[in-house]
Chains A and B, each alone.
Chain A
Amino acid sequence: GDSVTQMEGPVTLSEEAFLTINCTYTATGYPSLFWYVQYPGEGLQLLLKATKADDKGSNKGFEATYRKETTSFHLEKGSVQVSDSAVYFCALMGGFKTIFGAGTRLFVKA
């Protein structure tokens, strides 16, 4: 069946450091891919999405490119801030089902 694999956390970075969180997937067909973010005590909210191969999703300085050839959707940000500290989830949606990765917790130190 479909699956999503994220790099394990936690990831600890200093402010203004470069961020990469790896996400790879297996799926039949052509799923849509998403990154969601969860701040402490809250539900998930969409960070960015891509719906077809080579699409690049971007929002708030975060970017991810839908790479069909490597089945990946890695999240990147050039300069993280303390306010980016949260848990990040990679997800795919195909055939009305949604599969989430295990989540990666990010800590950003001032």
Chain B
Amino acid sequence: EAQVTQNPRYLITVTGKKLTVTCSQNMNHEYMSWYRQDPGLGLRQIYYSMNVEVTDKGDVPEGYKVSRKEKRNFPLILESPSPNQTSLYFCASSSQGIGLAGTYNEQFFGPGTRLTVL
């Protein structure tokens, strides 16, 4: 079954304790991305990756790190979490699909990780 998986699904931690949220896709997609969802703000992009070893900042990258060493995995790292990073996090992937007109394919989303930082 084609899917994006995230782990853990729920996490409660304390300020300053490093954590990693894993994301994996089995669709051989080039593009992967992390978002956070907060009430009234929709989803905001944290980081994205166009392919292995190619990453770039989204709109809200502060306090986060990513790496893309393998095509299927795109972990999100919080080196020193703070309470303002309490949120619902989604990983997504898509095939590159850049057409002649610069069009983009749809993204497939994971089930989400609910993070609470105390």
Of B12-20, B68-76, B101-109, the segment with at least 4 beta carbons within 8 Å of chain A is B101-109
B111 interface neighbour in A32, A42, A89, A97, Cβ under 8 Å: A42
Chain A positions within 8 Å of B112 at CB level: 42-43
The complex places the Cα of A104 from the Cα of B90 at a distance, in Å, of: 18
Of A14-22, A46-54, A67-75, A76-84, the segment with at least 4 beta carbons within 8 Å of chain B is A46-54
Q: A43-B111, A43-B112, A98-B33 are in contact. Are A51 and B50 (CB under 8 A)?
A: no
Contact (Cβ within 8 A) B58 A97: yes
Chain A positions within 8 Å of B103 at CB level: 32, 51-52
SS class, residues of chain A in contact with chain B: strand
Write the nearest CB–CB distance from A97 to chain B, whole angstroms: 6
Most buried by A among B40, B56, B99, B109: B109
Contact (Cβ within 8 A) B109 A44: yes
The complex places the Cα of A26 from the Cα of B104 at a distance, in Å, of: 17
Write the nearest CB–CB distance from B1 to chain A, whole angstroms: 14
Contact (Cβ within 8 A) A97 B90: no
In the complex, the chain B residue whose C-beta lies closest to that of A102 is B42
Instruction: Mark each residue of chain B from 31 to 65: 1 if its CB lies under 8 Å from any CB of chain A, else 0.
Output: 10101000011111100101000001011000000
Q: Is B110 an interface residue (CB 8 A)?
A: yes
Contact (Cβ within 8 A) A96 B56: yes
Chain B positions within 8 Å of A42 at CB level: 111-112
Which 4 pairs show the lowest CB-CB distances between chains A and B? A43-B109, A51-B103, A46-B106, A102-B42
- By a beta-carbon cutoff of 8 Å, the part of chain B in contact with chain A is 4, 31, 33, 35, 40-45, 48, 50, 56, 58-59, 90, 92, 99, 101-104, 106-112
- By a beta-carbon cutoff of 8 Å, the part of chain A in contact with chain B is 4, 6, 29-32, 34, 36, 42-46, 49, 51-52, 89, 91, 93-94, 96-103
Report 22 cross-chain contacts, Cβ distance below 8 Å, ordered by A residue.
Answer: A30-B101, A30-B102, A31-B104, A32-B104, A43-B111, A43-B112, A51-B101, A51-B103, A93-B104, A94-B104, A96-B48, A96-B50, A98-B33, A98-B35, A98-B58, A98-B107, A99-B45, A100-B35, A100-B42, A100-B44, A102-B40, A102-B41
